[in-house]
Amino acid sequence: MNKLYLGIIGAVVVIVAATAIFITQRPEKYAATVNGVGIPVSEIDKQVDQVKQQQPNIAPQQVEQMRKSVLDSLITAELIRQEAKKKNITVPKAEVTKRVQQIKKIFKTDKEFQAALKEQNLTESELDEKVEEQSIAEKMLKQVTGSVKLSNKDLKDYYNKNKAQMVEPERKQWRHIVVKTDKKAKDLRKQLEEGADFAELAEANSEDTATKDKGGDLGLRQDTDFPPEISQGLTDVELDGYSEVIKDSTGYHIFQLKEIKEEQQMSFKEVKPQLKQNLTREKEQSKFATWLENVKKKAKIEIIE
């Protein structure tokens, strides 16, 4: 099932390490205070318990480290909330509603959406509040970082210094046929050895509806794109040759290797768009981290837990 926060978190990686944002409450016990505003222990418990349910065998020392990480994230979120309030940064209700609707569209049915809310221990109104807080945080990021500009020379210099890392790895074009039984797979492989056309056999027999009409074509893949039980069975396959029958959870496979594209150096023109995006994000995050560190130094933060 899709995680609810995929639609919430977006690009503000440096803002919140955990996936929930603090909602101002008046609980009996605080884990910390930020300029007099309490961070409730219950919010930390809620997030940690959620992880423990997913990982019941998690070690006690990992739980303790997780609590510290969650607390740090909640302190950061509260600092951002307070700074945004000072600057009168708000988000229109219509914008919040629109983003919540986008999250709902991730799920096929309302039942799935409600199940995801339950899994995250959220109500719809709490989701609205979290989306609003995240939207405000994103506006703070833009205001703090401003417009980061990178010249063509900046990008070219970075490319030249890191050229060795900018390569297109070796990729191979594979076809495959997957069937339900070992007997049928072995029979099809025998037909291939006798000269049968792989594409025709795939179209007539493969259970993979996504590729059977394309003759079983999987396109260009890196070896690491396959799970270990598959990749191990492909290591000795020669060009235009066939794998032995390989079993995995989806059935019995036969692969044919059709093409090998050797590793090659990527040109500056090829990597420039992605390079610009990555370096811009890095500079924004660095600038925001510096701002946040200064905010923390000026804040009165008391750790109670």
User: What are the structural domains, with CATH classification, of the chain?
Assistant: 6-148+278-303 (1.10.4030.10), 168-264 (3.10.50.40)
The backbone region for 23, taken as left when phi is positive above 0, alpha when psi lies in -120 to 50, beta otherwise, is beta
Percent of residues, the chain, with pLDDT higher than 90: 76
The rounded distance, in Å, linking the Cα atoms of 25 and 119 is: 22
The encoded tokens of residue 297 equal: 């130094």
192-224 tens-digit pLDDT: 999 999 999 999 999 999 999 999 999 999 999
219-249 tens-digit pLDDT: 999 999 999 999 999 999 999 999 999 999 9
162-177 tens-digit pLDDT: 999 999 999 999 999 9
Three-class DSSP category at 27: coil
Q: Which amino acid is at 235?
A: T
The rounded distance, in Å, linking the Cα atoms of 234 and 250 is: 17
Q: Are 189 and 245 in contact (CB under 8 A)?
A: yes
Class of residue 29 by CB neighbours under 10 A (exposed 0-12, middle 13-18, buried 19+)? exposed
- pTM, rounded to two decimals: 0.63
Distances (CA, A) of 103 to 7, 50, 120: 5, 20, 14
Q: Are 180 and 252 in contact (CB under 8 A)?
A: yes
pLDDT at 153: 95
Q: Are 217 and 257 in contact (CB under 8 A)?
A: no
pLDDT at 31: 94
Angle between helices 268-298 and 124-145 (to 10 degrees): 100
The rounded distance, in Å, linking the Cα atoms of 86 and 124 is: 28
Can you give the three-state secondary structure of 48-63, one letter per residue? HHHHHHHCCCCCHHHH
Looking from the CA of 121 toward its CB, the CA atoms found within 13 Å total 13
Going by C-beta distance under 8 Å and a sequence separation of 6 or more, which residues neighbour residue 296?
79
Task: Please name which of 50, 52, 79 lies closest in space to residue 63, comparing C-alpha atoms.
Answer: 52
